[in-house]
A and B are shown apart, each in its own frame.
Chain A
């Protein structure tokens, strides 16, 4: 693990006096998709936010590409080739899709803008058709595509994705996961994925972590975790029963 792109070591984080992360260790290697699964309130999103310094880690160290970023201000972390697609998408609803993408490239070199724009439009052709529409008028799935596209505008080496399937129809969620897998395969993009949809996330990921009450309780390859009885009992049995008919008939949901 010495060549990990992102390494989180013993990180604790608090909201006021309430502990949210109790010494978390996570690694994301170059070209790897890593999934973090866990229940509501386990601290998944907190870990994502802590990597960006909000809330800041109280103990422990976060390094990206051999550089310690634990104490860097949020906007300077965002200037590194790490991009985040935050939970709930958080696109700019009154601005057009083009403007949203422009915000994603706010720190990039201006000369590369049209090139990067073409690239994300190739990945998400639907966004090109709607380039002049306001972000708020898009469907949930399109908004998620926009959030990912906005993050990709800065050519990140590592993409942090917080619940990309949140509130999406299963079929749309599947499309999003396929895009992530493609990006990983074709460009070697490293992805750190936080998901409640454990089944999809673990199938997609090379490795996975299980977060319970602010601490990592299990780690392993995606397949290992999928097969683990504990993971199945806690995160999959309910979901699997729902997921099975979905694959056959998406209209049923």
Chain B
């Protein structure tokens, strides 16, 4: 390591470090920042130099690296040990779950009381429901990726199957949401098994590629099979869900009239909020229970070492198919919910970037950790929603500045920081499912990946 004592400023080393970082930054950003292809009057492409941009990027890298080096902030080279978190953190973690749950149940009502029907709509819909959809998707994918260790890059396919199942069944056959919800889950599970069969023998990177292709196949079929799916235009005017038979309309038979409330569209939004909250909690409940059952433990063992599993007499084919089917089923539920919330589905909602976002949530949160996945969903989805609120930045950077364009940049930075400081995700512990005496949490650090 460095010869300088920790804590003491070492300007020489810091400037050397920073100069190197600036050179690398300049080299990397040269083609994207310094060169700009622009059509001229005759519509010919000309190359223009933007050398000031390159200089600014290098200067930012220099300054950032200089400060980091000066303060001796270094990414930990060796993995964290069991002592990475103090015991108080584990005790605190026990209260985060119930406290967060209580907060989630109170959230829409508190917002409604504080901001009224107009002001609270954005918070409940854009933040609450949106985040909870991704929490549910993250938890669903966590069964496949976190527990069974099968890297699935095409999870959005099952989301799409669920959404289109509800959209088609309700618009064609007039089936109600409550009937379609389990059907969407069953159909998605069926597709999960269908995907599972060809990929049974694949692992790791190869599995990721095939599942990614599967996700694209589903989307491309949705685009091109326009007789059924209406292609790119999508399916609109999907019926809305009712509250045990009471529609959310202004009419005399509506929800508001029956309960003696003044009609407001916020009722439906609050109802949808609680619906997705219950669906997400169902996903969590099933996952937590399964972990305690032999099948959940077998999934975790499968993630660690497939050959050992087979030598112990576990049928890995059935285990993998069950993981795919169950994960897909919850994706299907979430998809049906998505369709009923939007009232409109089109293939553009189910692009690869959605799969990548869901996987990023699972990886950032810590594979296998329910709490971590929920936190990561709140950070990534909530964070990109907050970018919409940053309109005041237009006064600084000009009218053309759109903060939402920087969403992926922020996700990327978050990923890099995670890989450096918490390589196993926000919550990298896993609680053992059996104990002789007191239960203990186990850090996921220090242990190599299973090569099963």
A residues near B (Cβ < 8 Å) are 52, 54, 73-79, 84, 86, 90-96, 98-99, 102-104, 106-107, 131-132, 134, 136-137, 150, 154
Contacts and interface: CB of A to CB of B under 8 A. Distances in A.
A136 B436 contact: no
Interface in B274-331: 294, 297-298, 300-301, 303-305, 307-316
14 contacts: A76-B313, A77-B313, A78-B312, A78-B314, A90-B305, A90-B311, A92-B304, A93-B450, A94-B447, A95-B297, A95-B300, A99-B300, A106-B313, A137-B446
B82 to A, nearest CB: 8
B442 interface: yes
A48 to B, nearest CB: 10
A92 B302 CA distance: 9
A99 B432 contact: yes
A103 B312 contact: yes
B425 interface: no
Interface residues of B, number: 31
B295 to A, nearest CB: 10
Contacts of B294: 106
A107 B436 CA distance: 21
A91 B308 CA distance: 7
B99 interface: no
B367 to A, nearest CB: 10
A107 B315 CA distance: 11
Interface in B5-52: none
Contact of A92 (B301, B315, B434): B301
A106 B300 contact: no
A96 B315 CA distance: 22
B447 A134 contact: yes
A54 B448 contact: no
Given A136-B448, A150-B312, 14 more contacts: A75-B314, A77-B313, A78-B313, A78-B314, A86-B307, A91-B305, A91-B308, A92-B450, A95-B432, A99-B300, A102-B297, A103-B298, A103-B309, A103-B314
Contact of B301 (A54, A103, A136): A103
Contacts, number: 98
B126 interface: no
A200 B419 CA distance: 46
B435 interface: yes
A94 B307 contact: no
Interface string B187-231: 000000000000000000000000000000000000000000000
Nearest to A86: B311
B304 A75 contact: no
Nearest to B319: A75
Nearest to B300: A95
Contact of B311 (A78, A99, A136): A78
Contacts of B448: 93, 136
Nearest to A121: B436
Contacts of A104: 312
B439 to A, nearest CB: 9
A124 to B, nearest CB: 15
B19 to A, nearest CB: 41
Contact of B304 (A76, A93, A98, A154): A93
Contacts of B444: 94
B299 to A, nearest CB: 11
Given A98-B435, A99-B297, A90 B308 contact: yes
A94 B436 contact: no
